[in-house]
Amino acid sequence: MELTAQMIADQLHGQVVGDPHVRVTNVARIEFGKKGAACFLANMKYEKYLYKTKASVVLVNRDFSPKEKVKTTLIKVDDAYTAVALLIGMFSTAKRKKGWEFPHCVSRKATIGRRVYIGAHSYIGKRAVVGNGAQIYPQVYIGEHVKIGAGTTLYPGVKVYDHCVIGEHCIIHANAVIGSDGFGFAPTQDGTYMKIPQTGNVVIEDQVEIGANTVIDRATMGSTIIRKGVKLDNLIQIAHNVEVGAHTVMAAQSGIAGSTQLGERCMVGGQAGFAGHLTIAHGTKVGAQAAVIGSVKEEGTALLGMPAIDHKTYMRAYALFRKSGKKKP
């Protein structure tokens, strides 16, 4: 696919500074940009590459002013980082798959929408509903009474247990498990543990993306809920009866214990953890490897450390900690 700078600017509501007719055929990182490539500059740490890049087009923020002469054509946009995501989509060659591959096992009592792709060795159970345009890759398991929304993609090896609900235009990557039993066991007098039946389900709303090998447990009663627009990285554990608020993002290897409610627009760093039965305010930011053991009531709070505390308090304490380890002259 070939696009001119002006065509790109029109799509991204940007302004061309330079040759509007220059053509590009791919997207590349600015430090490796070559003729015919479109790059972007969102982090000023990489500004030095702008002045020597051979890329044909570079996306920059609208308020950017170069410090030196720029040889390439610039396209000024409101947010270069968001714009490059749209640009990559314009160049994407990925095509939605079509048809049903064999062998597969689809119940006669399942309802399958139009233009659905079903990969080889997939299983779709009784009274499951798969919406129009869904992509069911090979070796996917969809249990009984499951609902899959229109345009949703389940990559190879995804497992969706009975009665779970997945919304429209979701992406679930390879080997994720939706609806496995929550970790519920009651201690008995003889020192053993009795399993507590997990009778609920998982509800995933629209436009959610879930990374590979992530596990979301079904509720003991009711639903474990992942709200609209949530983005979960690989290798994340979401326990039973958790609710993750809309447009929250979580990095790899983080986990939430049972019955905790995470607010909207939260940001969670890698390997961070939440104790059970907490309420976390909207917009909370949690640093990597932080351990949140208490509820957060104030919106926009930033936490660091183990156990997690306010990030400013943590940085002051860390400065004292580092200083205490230095030998006096």
As annotated, the active-site residues are 240
Q: Which residues pair with 135 in a beta bridge?
A: 117, 153
Q: By three-state DSSP, how is residue 12 classified?
A: helix
Q: CB 141: neighbour CB atoms within 10 A?
A: 20
- What distance in Å separates the CA atoms of residue 243 and residue 222, rounded to the nearest whole number? 11
- C-alpha angle 235/241/246, rounded to 5°? 70
Instruction: Decide: 170 and 154 in contact? Cβ < 8 Å.
Output: no
Q: Measured between alpha carbons, how far apart are the two ends of the chain, in Å?
A: 66
For residue 107, what are the CA distances in angstroms to 44, 104, 127, 131, 219?
55, 10, 8, 15, 26
CA 241 from centroid of its chain's CA atoms: 20
- What distance in Å separates the CA atoms of residue 145 and residue 201, rounded to the nearest whole number? 11
Pairing of the two strands 309-310 and 302-304? antiparallel
Please report, as a single letter, which amino acid is at residue 88: I
- What distance in Å separates the CA atoms of residue 316 and residue 318, rounded to the nearest whole number? 5
Instruction: Decide: 101 and 118 in contact? Cβ < 8 Å.
Output: yes
Q: By three-state DSSP, how is residue 90 classified?
A: helix
Instruction: Decide: 2 and 61 in contact? Cβ < 8 Å.
Output: no
